[in-house]
Structure 1
Amino acid sequence: MNAFSAVYWKEVRENLRDRRTLINALITGPLLGPVLFIMLMNVMVNRELARADQPIHVPVIGAELAPHFVAALKAAGIDADPGVKDAQRAVHDMTADVVIRIAPDYVQAWNKGQSVQVELVYDSSRRDANTAVGRVRAVVENYARREGAMRLIARGLSPSTAWPVTVADRDQATSQSRSALMFSFLPYFFVLTVFMGGMYLAIDLTAGERERQSLEPLFVNPVARWKILAGKLAAICTFAIISLLLSVAAFSTAPWFIPTEKLGIALDLGFHFGARVVVLMLPLILLLAALQSLVSAFAKSYREAQTYLSILMIIPILPSALLSVIPVKPEAWMYAVPLLGQNLGIVQLMRGDGITGQELASCLAGGFVAAALAVWATALMYRSERLAISA
């Protein structure tokens, strides 16, 4: 057995015995996050779908002035409750999601064929009330259009006279591309899973051994430093890959629990999607492993290395955060930028657009070049005798 294999299997076996590493690398990151997200989405979606189908109760101020309007609400599954004294207070205190207020001059304006006012009082910052507000608004607008058309017909005019321009929607979104909106966070989650999968092992193999003063005996052996580094990096990458595979497998179960048919989306997170995600993430696995080892090498204790890597963890957030705030049109050069290229590629896979061979090659080439530079910098750090000194 050569030095590389000896170091690799030694680190893998030792960390398999470490419950803290196993829990954080193989359970907390790759499994707990997807499970919680899928459960939360399942509860939220089913709750909203149930609310959309069930009758809702809405206080109507001045209901006696517009019996036909109240009947239209009733036909649409909206029951008119007795009005409240203070509509704003009722919405603020969450005793009502939305309150309808009919103007006192409704009857006079209606009889004269004039425009009448119906107010919807609601709080747009309450997300739980958005479904009810949307239903009420749609019913009111449909009622207004229908009654307006009837007025025109009574005067011998075509209803189209009031709408000289009509809008014809041609939505080019597919059922799969719409699902990308719901799972737009996946690229960041996969990167974070890889980061967390190897982080604790990287800390232990560098700062941890430095704190335990076990690096110096290791470096005394007549073995090239690069072989020791290669074995450690391979062990870190192994745990990161396993963490990524578990995360991909966990997310692939999402279509089983989320009612995608009712949402009108197609969620394809199966084997082909997972395999292409793993290929895209290969350069990042090596890049993050090298960066974690390099940063940990500057720390003299396990706790100090945790602090440094917590700051380094901000880097995977940047592409996803920027793309969520500033949507950009993908350009060819963007795929060669580590993290950004993976983010764009995974989003394209979720949308069902696929990724071309040139885009994949750019993504892998840019990522492996950055990884090679990080490995080279870490190798220079391993050549320093100061690395073995704990204090």
Structure 2
Amino acid sequence: MNAATQPLRRARGFLTVFLKEVRENLRDRRTLTSAFLTGPLLTPLLFVMLVNISINQQLDKADKPLAVPLIGAQYAPNLVDALKAGGIVPQPAVADPEEAVRRQDADLVLRIAPGYAKAWRKGEPVQVEVIYDSSQRGADTPVERVTKLLETYSRQQGAMRLVARGLSPAVAVPVQVAKRDQATAQSRAVLMFNMLPYLFVLTIFIGGMYLAIDLTAGERERQSLEPLFANPVPRWKIFLGKLAAICAFSAASLVICLLAFGVIGGFVPTEKLGMEIDLGPGFALRVLLLQLPMIVLLAALQSMVAAFAKSYREAQTYLSFLMMLPLLPSIMLMMLPFKPQGWMYAVPLLGQHLGILDLVRGNGLSPQSLAMCLGGTALAALLAAGATVQLYRSERLAISA
């Protein structure tokens, strides 16, 4: 009987601390708001809203009539008619097209050279200027649309000139380029959803942040750590109880976020851009599996950083800097695009980022990559937890001043 109850007795201190911290923080409105509302629900909602706005803006400029100021329209009436047929609505000329583009009064301006008609009659190349500002993101779609219309018109007129001279249009195209895009509808979704891994990690961080602060710096400021440490319970059990409570709130926050993306993600019109993404239960379960060691790692790091603070406000300042850490993989992949290597999956944060992008693409995650991702992050979590246990053994942690 004693042998059977011995494991329960050993775990009693851990469970007591865990249940105490969970119960007390379930009454804390600030902790509940950050763990179950701000991160897991507001983040997916804002993300989907921004994606919808971006898609609708691109589609509006790609499909709807596009107003373009046109300088020298009288020199090329046939070209103007071709642009009108392509959905371009010519606008009156502007005095200073370069300044109009810089001030964003127009996405682009077309300028036809005065010698257009004379050069056309001689069969010489004619010049049409597309004036735009490449630093304006909203100008990309209109510029590409107008450029394609001009290139199509140029090819058509060039072919007609060859036919008029008794030559085949194929003479002018000695090499034909056949583009064979191997991207699938699901893999193209990565271009729009490449921030998902960061959002998931950020949700985990926010879900446990206030709890981690309250259980270390908060209790230190309230001078409640000293009586807790006076109990005949090993310090490592006290820490594990607090760590488990932080992990429980972080995991619950991530689950709510995944459920929210699964529901709200269905309202993203990705099919209009030839994309497809599956954020259903299968995707959610695999992301949750990938993030399990990350939940422990972030909770341990938050506890460690908060343990150095002597007040709640000071801990908030420290953790606000730590919040930048999950952003590093996203910045690296955007600024330094590289081909993922096998060893990268063992790097915490980077491995989760690459693994989730593989799931978004629909490629799946190989057992080797999954094992490296879980193992590398679990090892880092173990080291962070071990370092924090050492801080809990110090008597300074219980002193608020």
TM-score category, normalised to shorter length: over 0.9
Deviates more, 1:53-62 or 1:373-382: 53-62
CA RMSD in angstroms, aligned pairs only: 1.4
Give the structure 1 partner of residue 359 of structure 2.
349
Give the structure 2 partner of residue 262 of structure 1.
272
Q: Shift of the alpha carbon at 1:4?
A: 1.6
Give the structure 2 partner of residue 372 of structure 1.
382
Give the structure 2 partner of residue 146 of structure 1.
156
Letter in 1 for 2:38: T
Give the structure 2 partner of residue 390 of structure 1.
400
Give the structure 1 partner of residue 314 of structure 2.
304
Counterparts of 1:129-144 in structure 2, within 5 Å, are 129-144=139-154
Letter in 2 for 1:349: L
Q: Shift of the alpha carbon at 1:131?
A: 2.4
Structure 2 segments unaligned to the other structure (5+ residues): 1-8
Give the structure 1 partner of residue 341 of structure 2.
331
> In structure 2, which of residues 19, 31, 34 is the aligned counterpart of residue 21 of structure 1?
31
Q: Shift of the alpha carbon at 1:254?
A: 4.1
Q: Shift of the alpha carbon at 1:205?
A: 0.3
1:292 aligns with 2:340: no
The structure-2 alpha-carbon separation of the partners of 1:313 and 1:81, relative to structure 1 and needing over 3 Å to count, comes to: closer
> In structure 2, which of residues 66, 80, 85 is the aligned counterpart of residue 56 of structure 1?
66
Q: Shift of the alpha carbon at 1:311?
A: 2.0
Deviates more, 1:132-141 or 1:228-237: 132-141
Provide the secondary structure at the position in 2 that maps to 1:252. helix
Write the distance in 2 (CA, Å) between the matches of 1:37 and 1:251. 9
Deviates more, 1:65-74 or 1:42-51: 42-51
Instruction: Give the TM-score normalised by structure 2.
Output: 0.94
Q: Shift of the alpha carbon at 1:82?
A: 2.8
Provide the secondary structure at the position in 1 that maps to 2:94. coil
Provide the secondary structure at the position in 2 that maps to 1:121. strand
Q: Shift of the alpha carbon at 1:233?
A: 0.6
Letter in 2 for 1:345: G
Give the structure 2 partner of residue 206 of structure 1.
216
Provide the secondary structure at the position in 2 that maps to 1:206. helix
Letter in 2 for 1:177: S
The structure-2 alpha-carbon separation of the partners of 1:319 and 1:85, relative to structure 1 and needing over 3 Å to count, comes to: closer
Question: Size of the alignment, in residue pairs?
Answer: 391
Do the aligned partners of 2:73 and 2:80 also contact (CA within 8 Å) in 1?
yes
Runs of 4+ in 1 over 6 A off after TM superposition: none
Residues 215-269 of structure 1: CA distance to partner in whole angstroms, max 9, x if unpaired?
1111111112222111101100000001111111222234422111111001111
Write the distance in 1 (CA, Å) between the matches of 2:194 and 2:291. 17
Letter in 1 for 2:71: I
Provide the secondary structure at the position in 1 that maps to 2:89. strand
Give the structure 1 partner of residue 249 of structure 2.
239
Instruction: Give the TM-score normalised by structure 1.
Output: 0.96
Q: Shift of the alpha carbon at 1:110?
A: 0.6
1:248 aligns with 2:227: no
Give the structure 2 partner of residue 35 of structure 1.
45
1:362 aligns with 2:372: yes
Letter in 2 for 1:40: L
